[in-house]
Each structure stands twice: as structure tokens, then as C-alpha cells.
Structure 1
Amino acid sequence: MAAIDTLRAPAAHHPSIFERVSASLRYWSDVRETRRQLSALSDRELSDIGLARGDIERVARGL
């Protein structure tokens, strides 16, 4: 019969420097691509999706 230990917390995973750098680069790339695509839209297209040109940076960073 198998038993599951529910009292112990799972071991915390501490990301390596490589994982942190990789995650930072993915985030930077995602922000850059989002900013590029939104900037390519006209003011009318941005308005259609409820944004103004000044909102692009905030939206790209996910704030």
C-alpha cells in the first residue's frame, strides 16, 4: 500500500543563474515584440481595442 506524505511542504526550487537569465531574456523579448506590434497599429486601431498610444509601454510590460 502506498502512502502519500501530505504534511511536508514540497522542496523549494531555487532557480539557477541560467534559469533567471533565460527568464529575463524571454520577458525582454516578449515586451519588445508586444511593443513593436502595438506600435505598428494606427491610432484608430488602438482605440478600437481600448488603448491609446501612451498605453503601449504599460501594456507591453504587463502592468
Structure 2
Amino acid sequence: MSAIDTIRAIPATRPAGIFETIAATLRHWAEVRATRNELERLTDRELSDIGLTRGEIERVARGI
């Protein structure tokens, strides 16, 4: 069984400079991509076991 952490947030503790904002955006994009790739590797049965369908992968990966 796979465990996937789908809750990832970009902390907003202080005003960030442009480079910090870009770096945070790139990190977030990479995490969404990694989550999407891991979920897409699962079989339909495995997705069903964790309560997901293929159509929900993008929503879950983006944390919507």
C-alpha cells in the first residue's frame, strides 16, 4: 500500500523577495508534478482503495 502526502502549503510568514517567490513557486510546481506522477502510477484498484478516481488526480495533486 502506498502512502501519499497531498497536503503541501507554501508558508506566508513574511513578505518574500522576487527570487524567494519564484523559488517557492517552482518548489510547489515540482511537488504537484511528483504527486500527480505517483497517483498516475497507481492502478484503478489502488486508487479506489484510497477513495480516488483517475478524474480526481489533478484536483488532489493541486490540493484543490
Structure with the bigger RCO (C-alpha within 8 Å, sep 6+) is 2
TM-score when scaled to structure 1?
Answer: 0.79
Query: Identity percentage over the alignment?
Result: 60
Matched residue of 1:34: which SS?
helix
State the number of aligned residues: 52
Equivalent AA in structure 2 for residue 35 of structure 1: R
TM-score when scaled to structure 2?
Answer: 0.78
In the other structure, the counterpart of 1:42 is 43
The unaligned stretches of length 5 or more in structure 2 are 1-12
Q: Once the 2 structures are TM-superposed, how far is the Cα of residue 61 of structure 1 from its aligned partner?
A: 0.1
Cα distance per residue 1:5-55 (max 9 Å; x no partner): xxxxxxx83210011000000000000000000000000000000000000
Give the CA RMSD over aligned residues: 1.2
In the other structure, the counterpart of 2:58 is 57
Larger Rg: 1
Provide the C-alpha distance between the structure 2 equivalents of 1:60 and 1:16, rounded to a whole number of angstroms: 26
